[in-house]
Amino acid sequence: MAQITKTTPAQCGTSTIIEANFPEVVLITGANSQLAQALLRVAAEMGHLVSNTGVPFKLYALSHSQLDITNAVNIAAVFVQYRPNWVINCAAYNAVDAAENDIVKAHRVNELGPELLAQQCVLSGARLLHVSSDYVFGGNAAYDIGHSVENVSEGVIEPAAKLHYLPSPFVEFDELTPLSEYGKSKLLGEQKVFAVLGERATVVRTSWLYGQGGHNFVKTMLKLMQTQPSLQVIDDQIGCPTWSDALARVMWQLVVAQCSGLFHYSAKGQCSWHEFAVEIQQQALALNLLNQPVVIQPISSADYAKQAFTRGVNVAKRPSYSVLNSDKLQSTLVTNAMPSMPDNIEWQDWHQQLNQMLRQLS
């Protein structure tokens, strides 16, 4: 079991810039990732980005060929060239199943990379915003105990009915028990960032990320629904789909407010992968992204893994429940007077976020 116990609480408002006419440089790693593209898209939508001290932001997004976060010499050279005040790390190894056999690379990118970035941030005085995952949790969610009625029989008090246990979304300091190598590498990465940077580190855990770009569940489902008569989708893993543009919005708000600490962010609500797939199809049909429906059958994680094994695929263990509680992040942004975007989409239900993303595709 691993647990972060010394992470500083949310802190906002400290800026390293003295002259208001000197731009604050934000360096984005993993420029070709769906999240980096979302950050650039949202920044364009927001217009002229300015920090809470009135300092304008200047953005640079670097691809892997320009910045290899596992190469300390490369990182140092890039910092000398761009002199960033903020680094937003979107570079990651996200192939959950492949990580089970590619352990070294997964840990180099997800653990060593963030640590090297943090070390260079210490030397330069920059802040780091690092993105982590709901897969740092093992699925053993906190539980709220429902009401029960007690009967007295022969001097023995027994519950008249079984207690009802309702899983609660994970908060930032719940117990961390990653089940997969991917989850372990993401946990170690965020721990290294805080150990090195302390109060200048910001980590945002998110879940089930999808967007207009990159490889993700929504785009995969749309493609399969156009070519397959039926699909099988897992129905016993519960989480919350999160639109990359909505995550980008809250990340920019954290940067503008100069906030540090550990935060969770996902859309509101929760669902299974099967429920998510059904909703994708319903909305896509309504938006004419699909011509006709296909059969979407539920399947258990165990049966899905067995079928994958017969195809030579080793499926990583995933949490049965990994819904995140975003209250701390929302409260922090409200406290620092950071307004939501005009449509308030970052704090809406996952159905609504999905609809926004699909409308952009259509």
pLDDT given for residue 161 in this prediction: 45
Question: Are the C-beta atoms of 149 and 159 separated by less than 8 Å?
Answer: yes
Total domains, the chain: 1
Res. 179 pLDDT band, cuts 50 70 90: very high
Q: What phi and psi values does residue 122 have, to the nearest 5 degrees?
A: -60, -45
Whether 257 is covered by a domain: the verdict is yes
Q: Which of 142-156, 171-185, 202-216 has the lowest mean pLDDT?
A: 142-156
Whether 229 is covered by a domain: the verdict is yes
Report the C-alpha gap between 115 and 192 in whole angstroms. 5
Whether 15 is covered by a domain: the verdict is no
Phi and psi based region of residue 136 (left: phi greater than 0; alpha: psi -120 to 50; beta: remaining): alpha
Q: What phi and psi values does residue 20 have, to the nearest 5 degrees?
A: -65, -20
Q: What is the mean pLDDT of residues 89-94?
A: 95
Whether 361 is covered by a domain: the verdict is no
Q: What is the pLDDT of residues 242-295, one digit of tens each?
A: 999 999 999 999 999 999 999 999 999 999 999 999 999 999 999 999 999 999
3-state secondary structure of 159: strand
State what percent of residues in the chain have pLDDT above 90: 72
SS3 content of the chain, % helix, strand, coil (to 5): 40, 20, 40
Q: Is the pLDDT of residue 188 over 60?
A: yes
Q: What is the pLDDT of residues 324-349, one digit of tens each?
A: 999 999 999 988 766 655 578 889 99
Strands 127-133 and 238-239, sheet pairing: unpaired
Report the C-alpha gap between 79 and 64 in whole angstroms. 15
User: DSSP character for 316?
Assistant: P
Whether 4 is covered by a domain: the verdict is no
**What would you report as the CA-atom Rg of the chain, rounded to the nearest whole angstrom?**
22
Whether 157 is covered by a domain: the verdict is yes
Q: Write down the pTM of the prediction.
A: 0.87
Which distant-in-sequence residues (6+ apart) come within 8 Å of 296 by Cβ? 230, 231, 232, 233, 274, 277, 278, 281
Domain that holds residue 195: 24-356
Whether 362 is covered by a domain: the verdict is no
Q: Is the pLDDT of residue 131 over 50?
A: yes
Which H or E run includes 38? helix 34-46
Q: Which two tokens stand for residue 137?
A: 């949790």
pLDDT given for residue 3 in this prediction: 44
pLDDT given for residue 339 in this prediction: 60
CATH code for the domain of 300: 3.40.50.720
Question: Are the C-beta atoms of 237 and 270 separated by less than 8 Å?
Answer: no
Res. 142 pLDDT band, cuts 50 70 90: very low
Report the C-alpha gap between 128 and 27 in whole angstroms. 10
Mean pLDDT, the chain, integer: 86
Per the annotation, the verdict on 182 as an active-site residue is yes
| Active-site hit among 182, 210, 265, 304 | 182
Whether 19 is covered by a domain: the verdict is no
pLDDT given for residue 341 in this prediction: 57
Of the candidates 242, 227, 238, 231, the residue with the CA atom closest to the CA atom of residue 357: 242
